């Protein structure tokens, strides 16, 4: 109850503060009911979704307050009230709450907000200011982002637009933890005590400059922050005493690398054809030069208290991500959008792990000769598409009927990365989706869809191939959406 009172108090304080003169307050939002059924056996796929999304906008002269409050249905792990008697199955999420000051030279925003960077419509590698919510990875736009507590400014001068953002907080992705209903699972989920804390204030900041021209625009961007996903930072070996007899207690240390991004993007307009593109270069480095600490193991730390060896990885890597997009208007009011995404590691270096015993990493059993730090590297910043595919081709088509009352959309995403020959492309797995939207009236919409995910049994990664893991998530979905 205290949580709801705090939310109400924040909204009331902000709105009353601006209510001294003539002002305008508007409300909008939607109410959603979802049903997902697996294609293989028709079982219910019970994953979180936002049941209510409420937007509140209050404006008084040159000041504005915007809030986005969502109620998320979060399925209980129990249904018989045997392990818990709590009937609660939803969470309140204050997704955004920020103030905007409009000036003659631009605007200044302060609070929890969702930013949009980049030129392409979706999957921009430059769009890195906000962390992502993996439960909404298949949604679009702001729906799959988490709000960032930050200050931002947009300035307009002559033909240029300049933007900057600053946050003193480290924002990480929300990832499903031990959720069998969700298709994307991390191979390793560390315990809280295994995370090595960021020693400095985790400042995150970035800026962009945009120049429009007769045929579109061009944008240069830069950002510095900490990764949204954790990385393997090193290993500590603890013994019971200085004699170092017996087997050690291995402390697996995880952390968050510091990453700098430089990006360029732009748009070209040619009547019915629109071209967009974003390219981002990332340089990431593990800041943990030392990982020595007291044994954090809650069960054995008191016994294995002597730190004999520490092996920080000191990872450094350069990688790039690129998304190219075209949009073309076909006859009969058909719109087709295509994207090509590519990601690769340009440079990698780290220290070795000089251990000669097998190490038990949660969810992984690795022998000493299998522990190559390069095998654990994954980008901690950029578009979440990189978590699915290294090279992807995406097509989407939309067509409206019945005076825009009915809309049919097709989407396909094809994995083209060939691990056996990285210089050539090969079709491996794919994601195909059909969506039908019908307006029952002005405010009520019925949405149905089908998603088919296909992997490949002969993929070199075997069952570890991401689309092989996702095949059981092929589903039918139905949504009833009321907008107000």
| Residue 74: band (very low, low, confident or very high) from pLDDT cuts 50, 70, 90 | confident
148: pLDDT strictly greater than 80: yes
Say if 86 falls within a structural domain. no
Q: Output the pLDDT for position 182.
A: 86
CB 179 within 8 A of CB 187: no
Say if 439 falls within a structural domain. yes
313: pLDDT strictly greater than 70: yes
Say if 451 falls within a structural domain. yes
| pLDDT 10s digits, 403-412 | 999 999 999 9
In angstroms, what CA-CA distances link 376 with 41, 113, 366, 390? 34, 32, 12, 15
Say if 166 falls within a structural domain. no
Residue 160: partners with Cβ closer than 8 Å, 6 or more residues away: 209, 210, 211
Say if 480 falls within a structural domain. yes
**Average pLDDT of the segment spanning 254-281:** 96
Which SS3 state, helix, strand or coil, does residue 321 take? strand
User: Token pair 């809650």 is at which residue?
Assistant: 298
Q: Output the pLDDT for position 20.
A: 46
- High-pLDDT (> 90) share of the chain, %: 71
| pLDDT 10s digits, 346-401 | 999 998 876 555 555 554 455 545 566 777 788 999 999 998 899 999 999 999 99
Rounded Cα–Cα distance for residues 473 and 465 (Å): 14
Domain with 432, as residue range(s), is 388-484
Average pLDDT of the chain, as a whole number: 89
| pLDDT 10s digits, 233-243 | 999 999 999 99
Count the domains in the chain.
1
| Residue 4: band (very low, low, confident or very high) from pLDDT cuts 50, 70, 90 | very low
Say if 368 falls within a structural domain. no
Q: Output the pLDDT for position 10.
A: 53
Say if 408 falls within a structural domain. yes
| Residue 413: band (very low, low, confident or very high) from pLDDT cuts 50, 70, 90 | very high
Tell me, yes or no, if the pTM score tops 0.75.
yes
Say if 427 falls within a structural domain. yes
Rounded Cα–Cα distance for residues 408 and 181 (Å): 27
Which SS3 state, helix, strand or coil, does residue 56 take? strand
Rounded Cα–Cα distance for residues 410 and 1 (Å): 44
């Amino acid at each position: 109850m205290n949580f709801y009172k705090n939310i109400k108090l924040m909204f009331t304080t902000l709105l009353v503060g601006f209510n001294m003169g003539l002002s305008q307050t508007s409300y909008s939002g939607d109410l959603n009911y979802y049903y997902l059924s697996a294609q293989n056996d028709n079982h219910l796929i019970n994953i979180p979704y936002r049941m209510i999304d409420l937007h509140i906008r209050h404006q008084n002269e040159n000041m504005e307050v915007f809030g986005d409050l969502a109620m998320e249905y979060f399925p209980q792990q129990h249904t018989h009230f045997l392990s818990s008697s709590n009937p609660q199955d939803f969470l309140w999420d204050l997704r955004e709450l920020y103030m905007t000051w409009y000036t003659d030279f631009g605007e200044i925003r302060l609070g929890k907000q969702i930013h949009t960077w980049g030129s392409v419509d979706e999957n921009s590698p430059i769009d890195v200011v906000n962390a992502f919510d993996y439960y909404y990875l298949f949604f679009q736009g702001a729906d799959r982002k988490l709000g960032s507590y930050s200050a931002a400014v947009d300035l307009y001068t002559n033909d240029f637009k300049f933007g900057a953002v600053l946050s003193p907080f480290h924002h990480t992705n929300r990832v499903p933890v031990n959720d069998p209903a969700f298709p994307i699972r991390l191979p390793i989920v560390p315990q809280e005590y295994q995370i090595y804390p960021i020693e400095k204030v985790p400042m995150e900041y970035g800026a962009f400059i945009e120049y429009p021209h007769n045929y579109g625009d061009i944008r240069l961007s830069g950002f510095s922050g900490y990764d949204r996903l954790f990385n393997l930072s090193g290993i500590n070996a603890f013994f019971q005493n200085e004699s170092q007899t017996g087997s050690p207690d291995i402390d697996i240390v995880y952390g968050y690398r510091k990453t700098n991004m430089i990006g360029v993007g732009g748009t070209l307009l040619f009547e019915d054809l629109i071209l967009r593109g974003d390219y981002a270069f990332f340089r990431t480095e593990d800041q943990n030069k030392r990982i020595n600490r007291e044994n954090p193991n809650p069960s054995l730390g008191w016994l294995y208290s002597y730190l004999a060896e520490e092996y920080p990885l000191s990872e450094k890597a350069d990688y790039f991500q690129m998304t190219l997009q075209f949009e073309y208007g076909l006859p009969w009011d058909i719109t087709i959008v295509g994207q090509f995404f590519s990601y690769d590691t340009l440079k990698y270096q780290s220290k070795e792990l000089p251990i000669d015993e097998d190490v038990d990493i949660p969810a992984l059993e690795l022998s000493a000769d299998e522990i190559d730090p390069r095998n654990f590297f994954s980008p901690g910043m950029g578009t979440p598409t990189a978590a699915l595919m290294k090279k992807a081709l995406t097509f989407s088509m939309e067509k409206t009927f019945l005076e825009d009352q009915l809309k049919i959309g097709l989407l396909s995403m094809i994995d083209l990365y060939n691990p056996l020959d990285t210089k050539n492309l090969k079709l491996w797995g794919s994601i195909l989706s059909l969506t039908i939207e019908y307006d029952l009236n002005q405010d009520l919409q019925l949405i149905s869809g089908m998603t088919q995910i296909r992997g490949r049994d002969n993929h070199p990664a075997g069952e570890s191939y991401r689309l092989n893991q996702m095949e059981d998530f092929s589903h039918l979905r139905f949504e009833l959406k009321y907008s107000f």
